Every structure is written in C-alpha cells, then in structure tokens.
Structure 1
Amino acid sequence: MAKAKEEFGEVSSLEDELSCPICLCLYRNPVSLSCGHSFCKECIQRALGVQQQSKASYSCPMCKIQLGPILELQKNFQLCSIVETFLATTSKGEEGKSYPEERKEMVPCDFCLDQPQPAVKTCLTCGWSLCQAHLNKHNAKDSQKDHVLVEAGAGHSVEERKCQEHGRLLECFCKDEREYICMLCSFEGSHKGHSIITLKEAHDKELGVLSYTMKQMQENKSAIANALEELQKSENQLKTNTKTVTSQLVKMFEEIRAEINQKEQQILSDIQYIEKKQLSAITKLKKKMEQKRDEATQHLQSLQKMREQPDDFLFLKEFKLAQDRIENQNFKVGKMEIFVVKLDPARIKRCRSLMCEYMSQLDLLMREVPI
C-alpha cells in the first residue's frame, strides 16, 4: 500500500512538472520562449494577446522578462515527446486526459424529470439515455438484459445505429461491401449470400489493423519529429555559419579599406612632399635669377652712361673697371631639372588588372555557397 502511494506521488509530481503554468493541464503543443519557460502554444498566444490589447510590451508570464517586439515561439519537440510518453505509460494517458475544449457535452437522462442527471449509457434497443440509477433499474429486468448499451453520446444518435431499410439495429458487418447491416439484411436484400460477420468479430479484426496502423503512424511521427529536429539543427547551424562568415567578410573588407586608405594617404603625402621640395628649390633659384637680373640691369645702366663720357681717359678707365666687375660676376642661367609627377599608363593598367583579379577571387567565395 505504501509503495503504491509512493508510485502515485511520483506520477503526480511528474504530471505537475509536465503541466502548463497557465492552464495547469498537461502540455499541448508545447512551445518555448527565449527565456526558457514553456507553455501550451494556445495558452501563451492568448496571454500575449492580452498583453498586446493592453498595449504593454511582451513579457514572460512566469519570470516577467521582456521578450522584445518580435516573438519567435519555438516548438519544444523534446517536451512534446516526453508528454506523449507519459500519457502512453500511465492510466490517465490510457483513459485520455481531457482538456477544456475536449470535454464531451453532457447527455441528460431521459427518465429524470426534476433535475436530469448525466446519462452514462444509451440503450440502442429502447432508444433511451440512462443515468446510473435508471441504468440499474433497466438492467434488473430480465427482458432487457440482452439490450445493446453504448456510452452516452457515442454515435451521435440512435437512428444512426439502425438499418434504414428494416429499422433494426446494425448488429452485423458485410465484409464484401464493408457496410453495417442488420440481421434481416443478411437473409434478404442486396447483402444476401455475402460474407457476414458480427460487429464484435469485425471490431476484433479491425483492432489488429488499427494496432498496425498506429504502429506505422507512430514510426512516421517519430521520423517526422527526427526530421524536424534535424531541420532545426540545420537552421541553427545555418544561422551560426552565416553569422561567422559575415563577421569574417566584414573584418576582411575593413582591413582592405584600411590598407587602401593608408596607401592612398602615403602616396598623396609623397606627391605633396615632392611638390613642396621642388617648389622650395624653384623659389631659391628664382631669387638668384632676380638678383642677377637686377645686377645686369645696373651694369647696363652704367655702361649706357659710359657711352656719353667725352673724356677718352676717363672713358677707358671707367670701362676697364666695369669690365672687371662684370667678369667677376656669374651671369650664366642655370638649368634646374623639374620632376613632373605623372603616372605610367602601363603601371595603371597593371594595377587595374590586379584589382579585377582580386575581385574575381572575392566572387569565388560566393560561388562556393549554393543559392
């Protein structure tokens, strides 16, 4: 007895762990938020809908962490599988744990007058739905012991379980036509001479087919779940790889731009240095030329005055002194080699060719990625 209580407590504790914090029922289509908490997909959508209507920012109902303006509800395949396994291995799972939207409508007892009680069975022979008390009275009569009883509400209506041709209960199954028939249909009418079995035999036979079908569907479901997990892994891997490659390319292009900018600054700086150096030399040379020009002008003016000297002795004396001064000075014009900055067309063509080759190598990076 103590062991049974202990096992029941463990099952109850596990059930609590596998229950949605919002509806307090076992998870249905569980999804996870970015904070790690899980909920039924429909429950969390309703909760987030209320937050949206109140114009509040999205937040987890459990930890109140802000979720951001864009939500991504990831299906929790592992939790979904655990819940299904739990339902399949517990009595509650075998009986089918009901949820608010899955509860069957209450069928009232046809014999309760003042306060109708929920019917537990429907007698197909009598056509009445019976509560437990009236069912006991019904079964107590010997004449009604062979009546066919079904769960209340099962099969929608009694008329669906009766033969439209003879008005009798559908108690047999035609294997040839795969139709429900009554006893009279097997002796007369379109089913005469067909292979006829009872509904019980048809049930037992189809139950085996059902078990095989369930097994196949379980395998299909497991295969789909595995495929979804693989797709999720592929999606995560793709995002990770894309992020890594993007980071690598951004870094590479930043390095290329930095090197190009540095080389541009260096070349332009060298050109400006050469220009400045040559301009300084030209300025110095211009000053010397201007000084020589002024001195030559003075000598010309002095010689011009000598031409007007009437005294021969003084003319010869002054001219001799002027000649000595002129010979002691250098009036030759010096040539300066100017370095004109220009680009070699062949080198420009070569640089452009290398740039095109480099761009082609960058294009090859993307060709390796399937589009």
Structure 2
Amino acid sequence: MDYNSDIIRDNNPMDSLEKQLICPICLEMFQKPVVILPCQHNLCRKCANDVYQAGNPYWPTRTSVSGGKFRCPTCRHEVILDRHGVYGLQRNLLVENIIDIYKQDYSRPEKKKENHPMCEKHEDEKINIYCVTCQVATCSMCKVFGAHKDCEVSPLQNIYQTQKTELNSCISMLVAGNDRIQSILGQLDELCKSVKENSQKKKESVNELFGELSRLLEEKKADLIQRISQAEEEKIDFVHTLVARYNEQLQTSSNLLQSALEAVEQPGHASFLLNSKHLIKRIMDTSKGSQLEKTESGFEYMDQFTLDTEHVTECIRSLGFSTGCEEEEDEETEEYEEPEEGQLGLQQELQSV
C-alpha cells in the first residue's frame, strides 16, 4: 500500500510525521530495511544501493560511486563504505518501528468506515470467521448453531492474508501473461511487416523475370518477322525477275509475229521466198527457247514459317513456385536452383524457335 501525502487528511498530526518518514530518493515511505548514514540521515537500503551502484534519476546530479563512496542525497556528506557495501550500513530500527506504528494508526480509521457484510441467515451477526471445510466466510452463530457447527473454522485475518497473497500471485501471473501476450503481439506485428517486405521482394523478382522473358519474346518475334520479311522479299524479287523475262519474250514474239504477218502480205513469190526461210527459222528458235523458269507448286505459301509453340506454351504453363522446405542445406540449394534451370530451358527454347 502506498502512503503518499495526498491521501492523508489535512490538519492531521500524522502529516508532519509522514514527511519525516519519506525517503529522499524514491519519495515514498521508507521501505525496510532502513539504513542510517554516518550523517544521521536515512535511506531505504535498496535506494542506498541504487545510489551506490549507478546514481539515481531523482537526484539532479549524479552520485560518485568510485572507490566505494557516495554522497548523501540530503546533505551531500561523503559516505565511505567498507567491503560489505551498503549492507555494512547500520539499520535504523527506531525508524522502522515508527513506520509500523504509523501504518497501524493510519489503517484504523479506514476499518471503522468499512461496510461490514452481515450474515444472510443471521441478519444481526457480522461475518467474522471463515469455514475452512466449506471454504466460505460465515458468522459465529452459523458455527455454533448453524450449518458450520461441525466444520473447521479460522479467523478471517488468517485466511485473508493467505488468499490475498494467493490473489497477488494470480495478479502477477496475469501481468506476466499480459506482458507475454504483448511481446507475442509485437512479434506478430514484426512478422506481418517481414511478410509484406518479403512479398514485395518476390513480386519484384517475378516482375523482373517476366520482364526478361518478355524482352526475349520481343527479340525472338522481331527475328522471326525479319526472317519472314526476308523470304517474302526474295520470293517477290524472283517473281519480278520472271515477269521481266516473260515480258521480254513476249516482246520478241510480238515482233516476230509482226514480221511474219508482213511477210505473208508481200506480193510476189520471189520476195516472199527471200525472207521466209530465215523468218521461219527465227520463229522456230524462239519457240524452242520459250520454256522459261517457273515457280514451284505452293510457291506463294509460307508454310515453312509455321511456329510450333506447344512446348513453349507447356513450359510457360508449368512455371510455378517451388514448394516445401528441406532441412538439409544441399537440398535447399537444389530446390532453389530448380526454377532457374526451368527458366533457362524456357529461354533456350524461345531462342531455338
């Protein structure tokens, strides 16, 4: 129980006493054991040890602890400790006894104010004993004449202290459990952050991988289109060459036809015979040489450029994440390398199309 000055009645003679029983370090009532310094000032042993070990935040200037020394926080008197440290300081039993008396006197008025519970069966009787057998608080009449006359009983104060201690232990257990839950919640929060960070990294990795695959596909597409365009150009050039040859032959044949028609229309046998034999020979030679090169059957089709994407499509569909975690480090390395080999195979297949 804290005995802060703000909960003590004003104009109470105990106010002045309480001020004398306040530790200058923790600003609470002295806690046993109380040690007395050589300068006759008092400190809680724990506070004295804190000052000796590492200083105290309530004191504006830090305490020197080198060489087994420290200064009294009240008068700044130097306190020299022996090899026992603060445990070598003498206990102030007088102050401890005064604290006990003060606490007893202070607690009495509060007890008078308590609304003491009454027995349900004996309305005029206060609940003043505890039935150990039935584990319930009851009154004296219940013990003498009532349901608890054959039970083992104990004073309320004894059971009160026991159960209060037990309840305090339960409270400590709950506090420890809450601290553990808070720690777990903190870990789970960090876990969520780690999941988000790792997920983002994997997303970036997948985007990077598919970006690389897209780049390879674009390069391969451009190469294939270029090959088709080249074949188209070669075929069209070949057709244009044939067109030029056939046009040339057509022009020659037309000229011979014109000459032959003119020869047929010439009057006189002698004139005709002078030119007919030579003209017939030219026509025969031209007819023999009219067998020009032709295109093959299906020349106009581009069937040789039909893409076989089934295996590539299957590789893309089979892309996935490796599952399972192996305990052995070597196995983990193999699992990690598996996707890379699949990706490399896909890239090689894309390049080979």
| DSSP 3-state at the match of 2:303 | coil
User: What's the offset of the Cα at 1:190?
Assistant: 1.0
| DSSP 3-state at the match of 2:111 | strand
Q: Confirm or deny: 8 A CA contact 2:25 2:59 kept in the other structure.
A: no
Q: Which has the larger radius of gyration?
A: 2
**In the alignment, is residue 278 of structure 1 matched against residue 235 of structure 2?**
yes
- In the alignment, which residue of structure 1 is the partner of 2:314? 356
- Once the two structures are superposed, residues 295-344 of structure 1 have per-residue CA deviations (whole angstroms, 9 ceiling, x without a partner) of 21221232133233342221122224434655776533223454742147
**In the alignment, is residue 332 of structure 1 matched against residue 299 of structure 2?**
no
Distance (Å, rounded) in 2 between the aligned partners of 1:319 and 1:258: 72
Closer, same or farther: CA 11–195 of 1 in aligned 2, 3 Å:
farther
Distance (Å, rounded) in 2 between the aligned partners of 1:294 and 1:276: 27
1:255-294 pair list within 5 angstroms:
255-294=212-251
**In the alignment, is residue 10 of structure 1 matched against residue 54 of structure 2?**
no
| DSSP 3-state at the match of 2:57 | helix
The one-letter code matched in structure 2 to 1:318 is N
Distance (Å, rounded) in 2 between the aligned partners of 1:305 and 1:248: 85
Distance (Å, rounded) in 2 between the aligned partners of 1:252 and 1:325: 72
Q: CA-atom RMSD, angstroms?
A: 3.5
User: What's the offset of the Cα at 1:249?
Assistant: 0.6
Query: Structure 1: which 5+ residue stretches go unaligned?
Result: 14-135, 140-146
- In the alignment, which residue of structure 2 is the partner of 1:341? 302
Distance (Å, rounded) in 2 between the aligned partners of 1:255 and 1:151: 86
Q: 1:223 aligns with which of 164, 174, 180?
A: 180
| DSSP 3-state at the match of 2:302 | coil
The one-letter code matched in structure 1 to 2:276 is F
1:136-215 pair list within 5 angstroms:
149-150=110-111, 158=115, 161-166=117-122, 167-215=124-172
The one-letter code matched in structure 2 to 1:341 is M
Distance (Å, rounded) in 1 between the aligned partners of 2:161 and 2:258: 142
User: What's the offset of the Cα at 1:288?
Assistant: 2.2
Distance (Å, rounded) in 2 between the aligned partners of 1:232 and 1:221: 16
Of 329-338 and 278-287, the range deviating more from structure 2: 329-338
| DSSP 3-state at the match of 1:10 | coil
User: What's the offset of the Cα at 1:368?
Assistant: 5.0
The one-letter code matched in structure 2 to 1:162 is M
User: What's the offset of the Cα at 1:286?
Assistant: 0.7
| DSSP 3-state at the match of 1:161 | coil
Q: Confirm or deny: 8 A CA contact 2:228 2:305 kept in the other structure.
A: no
| DSSP 3-state at the match of 2:249 | helix
Distance (Å, rounded) in 2 between the aligned partners of 1:165 and 1:149: 27
- Number of equivalent positions: 227
Distance (Å, rounded) in 1 between the aligned partners of 2:121 and 2:268: 168
Closer, same or farther: CA 7–171 of 1 in aligned 2, 3 Å:
closer
Distance (Å, rounded) in 2 between the aligned partners of 1:287 and 1:176: 126
Q: 1:302 aligns with which of 252, 255, 259?
A: 259
User: What's the offset of the Cα at 1:170?
Assistant: 1.4
Distance (Å, rounded) in 2 between the aligned partners of 1:296 and 1:311: 26
Distance (Å, rounded) in 2 between the aligned partners of 1:7 and 1:212: 25
Closer, same or farther: CA 299–169 of 1 in aligned 2, 3 Å:
same
- In the alignment, which residue of structure 2 is the partner of 1:243? 200
- Once the two structures are superposed, residues 129-151 of structure 1 have per-residue CA deviations (whole angstroms, 9 ceiling, x without a partner) of xxxxxxx9xx9xxxxxxx98438
The one-letter code matched in structure 1 to 2:303 is K
User: What's the offset of the Cα at 1:294?
Assistant: 2.5
Of 252-261 and 213-222, the range deviating more from structure 2: 213-222
Query: Structure 2: which 5+ residue stretches go unaligned?
Result: 1-19, 28-55, 61-104, 326-353
Distance (Å, rounded) in 2 between the aligned partners of 1:353 and 1:340: 25
Closer, same or farther: CA 293–368 of 1 in aligned 2, 3 Å:
farther
Distance (Å, rounded) in 1 between the aligned partners of 2:110 and 2:144: 25
Distance (Å, rounded) in 1 between the aligned partners of 2:222 and 2:190: 48
Identity of aligned residues (%): 16
Q: What TM-score does the superposition give when structure 1 sets the normalisation length?
A: 0.52
Distance (Å, rounded) in 1 between the aligned partners of 2:199 and 2:120: 66
